[in-house]
Structure formats: structure tokens, C-alpha cells
A and B are shown apart, each in its own frame.
Chain A
């Protein structure tokens, strides 16, 4: 691609504004999506496929630049290369060695993986990009003959809505009918339980993926009167409560357990946004108030029912935009802002939850494509505070439960998978790190 005299540039979306400040080797803010194909990957064809789709996703082929008040994204015309995959998923993306790009496309054996710095997009945008890449790859290898309906067409021009900041659009469209709860605080003062343990060497992430039958898991969740996310989140909380009592003997010192659950806002607001458009809800469970898994499920269900309302979501959107909208703060130089964001994240933000569980939902691919795709995996990185993250993806008749941790102990995964085994769910484990 030739260098242009006037490179296009984009403002960071409202959620992305905090990631450059928070990014570090310990907290790379990177997520990974991968697909396993039925054939060994040809890197030359993969690189061609990547080049073919790059113009369709101009908002991903950018580099991060620093302005006076905010960072921004600028069109990047450097060559784009694919990488051989390694044992270290969700590693920090070093821009200088990646031609200034903020995402990587990796391959190994039959796997194609993309790793995105969260400043570009969330899981939805990343998955659409990966689907398009794999479709183009299969088209070039001759496995898929025609254009597929559910995949982004690379011959179409990018829709303006794809690159817009959907959070601001929501606030703008709802400003007349806004029902925002003003009596709220962005962070609560209660610190939640954080897993204790020595961190793995910098940049390492131990990943364990459990494969379970979606039908069996759905049935089990129904028996507990919960959705799959609620059920697995409850198991996760149960494991965290047990681990807390294992690590902290004095019950008086036990803290609440919080679990961060990302919410795809596209389900509630019909924006075709390809940048960040997700928020989090964080059910907080007091270990002293729950005595069984069903108690935890009930608490989570109650919390979700209360918080996944349009009023509350709008309040969350408003909170999310508070930094970008604040008259004084938005005029503070970016370096001062970054320093403050980093400090607030360490002292307030990351202490609000003990773990993260992210459900990408069922990934549907067109028939001619799914015949060549064996699995679809999602992995989010771990933070030095919460130390563990769980991501779920459904594909065909399977659900893939991936854990990424930066501590040695596998207590949480072990509890979750062995609990499922005890509940007569067949679990098959795979490890990629």
C-alpha cells in the first residue's frame, strides 16, 4: 500500500481512551480469537488474504499516535505481515516490531489467530474481522467458491456506522428521553477478593481450554434455572469463594467476590459498530450470604435482572463517556490523564472484581465455511490484580471454556471443570500454552 500524503485519522472511541494508559507487559489489554481449520495453514496465502481484506477494515489498519489532549489512531500504510504463533497468547503487542500495527495475525499448523489490542475493537469486531480473513483464506485456497452472505463483503465500502463511536451516538440519540440515574458513584469503596499468588514471568499466560457439549451444558443450566453464562459465572464465583477460604483462614477478613461480565451493547442498541461497544456488569457476592451454588445463581440472576435494563445500561454508557465529556478533564494533557487513569485503574478499577467471564455466544459460520473450520476459540488476557479470566465461545455443538491465568495455581479451573465432571458433563481439556 502506498503512503498517502494526508493519512486518515480516527479519534479513539470512548472505551478505548483508557487502554493506552493502562497497557503494560503485565496488562497488555489484548484479546485473542482463533479458528482451527481442517488443513495446515499456508502463510503466503494467509498474508495475501490479509492484504486483500485490509482496505475493508481501514479502522483496524492504524497506528496509535499521541495528541495534546487525547491519543488518536492514524492510517498505517506499512506492510502487514502474519506471524508464527507461539506459546504466549495475548502477549503485549510491541508496535515498533509490528510495523506500528495494533493487531497481529498468527498461524501455526491448522490454526489462524488474531490478537487485538483492545484500543481497536472488542470481541465482536475482532470476530467479524477473523471470519472475513478466514473466508478470504478459504476462497484463495479454493475451499470456498462464492461470496458468503453472513461474512463482511470485502468489495463493499466500509459503512460510516462501523467506525463511529457508538457510545456517543447512544447518548446523543437518547439525550431527550434520557433517564440516567444521577445518584451513583463510578466506583464503590468495597474492594473485592483478589487471588493471591506469585505471578508467572512477565507476559506469560497459562491457558487451559475445556470443551463441553453445548446441549449437555444447556440442559444442566436449565436444571438450575439459569442461562449458560449465569451458571458458569456462578461456578466461577463458587470457585473463587472456596479459594478465598483456602487462602485466607480468618473468615472475618473475607471479602466480597465480584465477577465482571462483559455486555455486548449491540444487542440493546442497533448500531453496526466495529469498534468498542461493550460494557461490563459486575455482580458482587458476599460469601457470608450464600451457602450453595443455587444461592449464587439466584444472586447473579437478580443482579443481572436489575442491571440489564435500558435505564441502567444508559447510565453505564453515561458513566463510560464521563471522562470524554467532562469539560475540564478533556482539556487536560494526555500524559497527565494517562497517569491519573493508571492510578485509578490500579487503586479503584481493578479492585472492583475478582475475575472476568466473557461469553462470545454461539459463533455461526456459513455452511460452506464451517465445513472447513473445526473450532473457534476466544481468549482474553489476565490482569495483575484479578489474575484470571474466563472466556466462552460456542461453535457447532460444543462450548469452549478458556481460562487464562498469570499465576501458577490452577485451583479455579480445576474446581470448575471437576465440578462439571461431577455433574456428569464430559469435559475434554486442551492446553495451548
Chain B
């Protein structure tokens, strides 16, 4: 039995110095077995941590891939036509793809809303540029751009906290959006369009779509994926009908033009979201990642 002469406490057999005052134990036992009861002196260190996969690497690979394709297309166009003409369309599409696929890898903290905003801006710029390259103006693309801006406004509504949503329900939010659209369209192209032939049908369409979507979301699809698929469906229908109304008014035909491009984007997205909603594994992954 050993004691610390300074502190007066009893010390376990294997202790060679008092842990409180570091006074050495006189005549301490030093047999092999007792020395071995000291814990091994090894420890984990941060260096033992396996290096995490750097997502930025994937982003770089994708960027190089898109860049290579863009350069090849531009060179081909210059070699064949001695000018840059048709290649601008796929190059612009590659830039859009870069924003959608590669850009998130370079961001450290991605959030859904931030990515969505970035992609909306990219799609608007893409459509405006496409229109400018093809027709030399931004006649149809400003309507498409406006629709996407409206989509952004609608999506932003879902990020409004529940407490405020109680005061400002989704229906009211949609009505407000349609009024804003009404005003903006009238301001932009008001002189060329008849209020009764274009703007009023559009407003009614928006209201009908909003109300139907609202009730579908409340009754059947009140989760994130459900809402996304309903919204994508709404965009498809809205753009198509909008295009038909404008084409009918200006040219007298029913042949849609730019809305086909919008539908090329939204229909695969709708199909993807719908597949995810139906797939249990993917659904489980989404519910885990987005639980509140």
C-alpha cells in the first residue's frame, strides 16, 4: 500500500508518482506484472482518417469533357462552314449542362434552392441566347424566360416558412403570380396582343392550373417529389398552351414552337421525378436526405 506523503491519498500499486502533486512514491513496487498494467501508449490521429473523396475532382473531369466537346464542335463548324454558326447551339447546350451537372461539384455547400436558382438563371440565359442566334431577336424566348422566372417565384413560395404560408396560402400565392405575369406580359408586349384573346385566357389557364395543382398536392402529392412532379407538369402544360395562344394570335395557326424546347427539358425531368417517387429505394434516399 503506497501513500502520497504530500496529499495523504492512497495510491494504486502501479502508480509511480502521485497524479495530484507528482511526488514520487518511495519504495514503490516495480515488478513486471504491475508495470504492465499501464495502458498502451498508442492513439489515433487525424492522419489515420482516410482522405475523403474530393468531389471537386469529378467536377473538373466533367468540365474538361464539356469543354472538349465544345472545342471539337466549334472547330468542326469552322472547318466545314468557315464560320461559327450552328455549333453555337450545341455549345450553348453544353454550357447549360455544365451549370446543371458540373457546377454543383465546385460548390462546397450546395443547397437545393441555390442550385435551383442558378439553373433557372442558366436556362433563361440559354433560351435568350438560342433565340438570338436563331432569329436575331428575343421574341419567343422572353416569354419562356418569363415563364421560368415565374416558376422560380412559385418554387420560392415553397421555401416560405409554414407560419407565413398559413397567412398566404399557395392558392393566393399562385393568383398573385398570375397577376404579376398579366401585368408583365401587358407591359412587355401589350401593344401587339389583345387582352381578351391572349392575356385573359392565360390568366384563366394559370388560375385553373394553380387550383388543380393545389388540390392535387394537398390530396395526393403532399411530399417534395409529388410537388415537384406537379410543378413540372404545370410548366409543360402552361408553356405549351401559352405558345399555342401566341402563335394562334400572331400567325393564325396552332403549331407550337419554343414550347417544344421547354417540354424537351421538363418532360424528361417529370419522368425522372415520377420514377424516383415510385422507386422505394430512391424515395427512401430522398426522404432521408431531406427530412426536416
A residues contacting B by CB (< 8 A) are: 5-6, 9, 11, 25, 65-70, 72, 74, 84-88, 91-92, 94, 96-97, 108-109, 203, 206, 208, 210, 327-328, 330-331, 333, 335-336, 410, 413-414, 417-418, 421-422, 426-433
Task: Number of B interface residues at 8 Å Cβ cutoff, please give it.
Answer: 42
Tell me if B290 is interfacial: C-beta within 8 Å of chain A.
yes
What's the least CB distance linking A418 to chain B, in Å? 5
What's the least CB distance linking B6 to chain A, in Å? 9
Q: Is the CB of A421 within 8 A of B40?
A: no
Tell me if B49 is interfacial: C-beta within 8 Å of chain A.
yes
Q: Is the CB of B161 within 8 A of A87?
A: no
Q: Is the CB of B39 within 8 A of A85?
A: yes
Known contacts A6-B284, A68-B289; A428 and B43 CB within 8 A of each other: no
Chain B residues with Cβ below 8 Å from A11 are 291
Which stretch in B10-18, B225-233, B252-260 binds the other chain?
Answer: B10-18
Q: Is the CB of A335 within 8 A of B9?
A: no
What's the least CB distance linking B52 to chain A, in Å? 8
What's the least CB distance linking A272 to chain B, in Å? 24
Q: Is the CB of A418 within 8 A of B7?
A: yes
Interface residues of B in 245-276 (CB under 8 A from A): none
Tell me if B191 is interfacial: C-beta within 8 Å of chain A.
no
Q: Is the CB of B161 within 8 A of A69?
A: no
Known contacts A327-B161, A414-B21; A426 and B10 CB within 8 A of each other: yes
Tell me if B8 is interfacial: C-beta within 8 Å of chain A.
yes
CB-defined A-B contacts under 8 Å, sample of 19? A84-B42, A86-B42, A92-B44, A94-B46, A96-B49, A96-B52, A206-B19, A208-B20, A327-B161, A330-B292, A331-B161, A418-B7, A418-B9, A427-B9, A427-B10, A428-B9, A428-B11, A430-B15, A431-B15
Chain B residues with Cβ below 8 Å from A421 are 7-9
Q: Is the CB of A68 within 8 A of B39?
A: no
Q: Is the CB of B292 within 8 A of A97?
A: no
Q: Is the CB of A85 within 8 A of B40?
A: yes
Chain A residues with Cβ below 8 Å from B220 are none
Tell me if B82 is interfacial: C-beta within 8 Å of chain A.
no
Chain B residues with Cβ below 8 Å from A97 are 44, 48-50
The residue on A at minimum CB distance from B12 is A430
Tell me if B32 is interfacial: C-beta within 8 Å of chain A.
no
Known contacts A88-B43, A208-B20; A335 and B7 CB within 8 A of each other: no
Tell me if B31 is interfacial: C-beta within 8 Å of chain A.
no
What's the least CB distance linking B37 to chain A, in Å? 6
Q: Is the CB of A431 within 8 A of B12?
A: yes
Chain A residues with Cβ below 8 Å from B46 are 25, 94
The residue on A at minimum CB distance from B39 is A87
Chain A residues with Cβ below 8 Å from B42 are 84, 86-87
Chain A residues with Cβ below 8 Å from B111 are 68, 333
Chain A residues with Cβ below 8 Å from B48 are 94, 96-97
B98-112 Cβ-contact flags toward A at 8 Å (1 or 0): 000000000001011
Instruction: For the complex, give the distance between the alpha carbons of A5 and B163 in Å.
Output: 38
Partner of A96, one of B18, B50, B281, B290: B50
Tell me if B196 is interfacial: C-beta within 8 Å of chain A.
no
Known contacts A208-B19, A410-B19; A335 and B43 CB within 8 A of each other: no
Instruction: For the complex, give the distance between the alpha carbons of A70 and B289 in Å.
Output: 8
What's the least CB distance linking A299 to chain B, in Å? 27
Partner of A74, one of B4, B11, B112, B288: B288
Known contacts A11-B291, A327-B161, A426-B10; A91 and B43 CB within 8 A of each other: yes
Q: Is the CB of A431 within 8 A of B49?
A: no
Chain B residues with Cβ below 8 Å from A5 are 281
Q: Is the CB of A6 within 8 A of B281?
A: yes
What's the least CB distance linking A341 to chain B, in Å? 15
Chain B residues with Cβ below 8 Å from A206 are 19
Q: Is the CB of B39 within 8 A of A6?
A: no
Most buried by B among A5, A84, A85, A429: A429
Q: Is the CB of B290 within 8 A of A68?
A: yes
9 nearest A-B residue pairs (beta carbon) = A428-B10, A414-B20, A430-B12, A96-B50, A421-B8, A327-B161, A335-B109, A87-B39, A431-B19
What's the least CB distance linking A95 to chain B, in Å? 8
Instruction: For the complex, give the distance between the alpha carbons of A86 and B8 in Å.
Output: 29
Interface residues of B in 205-262 (CB under 8 A from A): none
Q: Is the CB of B9 within 8 A of A417?
A: yes
Q: Is the CB of A413 within 8 A of B292?
A: no
Q: Is the CB of A417 within 8 A of B112?
A: no
